[in-house]
Amino acid sequence: MNAHIESVELEKAYRLINHGPTTLVSSRHDGIDNVMSASWVCGLEFKPAKLTVVLDKSTFTRKLIEQSHKFVIHVPTVSQAQMVHYLGTHSRAEQSDKLATAGVDFFQLPESHLPLVAGCAAWLYCELIPIEQNQIDHDLFIGEIKGAWADSRVFKEGRWLFEDAPDEMRSLHYIAGKRFYKTGSLLDVE
């Protein structure tokens, strides 16, 4: 585990995803874990903190979430881009050793309920608010954020600090194919 991990106030947890990073979604049910990549993750509510995530019916992770009603949204970094791409293009349904092959290393915090993928910049533990019509008609899932943590080298006192960190600790923004943008430089308005 990383000694830099600090918990994030739930009312500020939306800031971990507000800039639109590519994420990883994980879940566990009946002792089986999976992790997939997802670009379509979005803030929904400040208090209680909520988010949305779009999970295609073909995904193994969706089935775990439908059973366990629990998931973690991760904000991975530039140094994990290869792993993020792998996790988004391979399904555990066809490849039972997907996580090991991708190089996923899990750790757990006392209050995290689920295992967290090591090396990310932030983690949001969510509990599903089941709305069957959205899930069936639109693959749209709503989660309440019940716990949030970040690597304090890049997120501290409620804000990202990518500008002060090494390039490989920045977050990712997926485009298509094998291509991402890194989170860029700061811009302050008056």
Using the minimum distance from each CB to a copy of itself, give the nearer residue, 113 or 155: 155
Contact 124, 145 (CB under 8 A): yes
**Residue 91 burial class via C-beta count within 10 angstroms: exposed 0-12, middle 13-18, buried 19 and up:** middle
Using the minimum distance from each CB to a copy of itself, give the nearer residue, 115 or 155: 155
Contact 160, 134 (CB under 8 A): no
> Binding to a copy of itself by residue 10, rule CB under 8 A?
no
> Binding to a copy of itself by residue 183, rule CB under 8 A?
yes
Piece in contact with a copy of itself (CB under 8 A), picked from 24-32, 91-99, 119-127, 159-167: 159-167
Q: Are strands 122-129 and 23-29 parallel, antiparallel or unpaired?
A: unpaired
SS3 of residue 189 by DSSP? coil
Using the minimum distance from each CB to a copy of itself, give the nearer residue, 113 or 126: 126
Piece in contact with a copy of itself (CB under 8 A), picked from 60-68, 98-106, 110-118, 158-166: 158-166
> Binding to a copy of itself by residue 45, rule CB under 8 A?
yes
Q: In the set 71, 123, 149, 160, which binds a copy of itself (CB under 8 A)?
A: 160
SS3 of residue 172 by DSSP? strand
| Number of amino acids touching a copy of itself (CB under 8 A) | 50
How far apart CA 116 and CA 138 sit, in angstroms, is 27
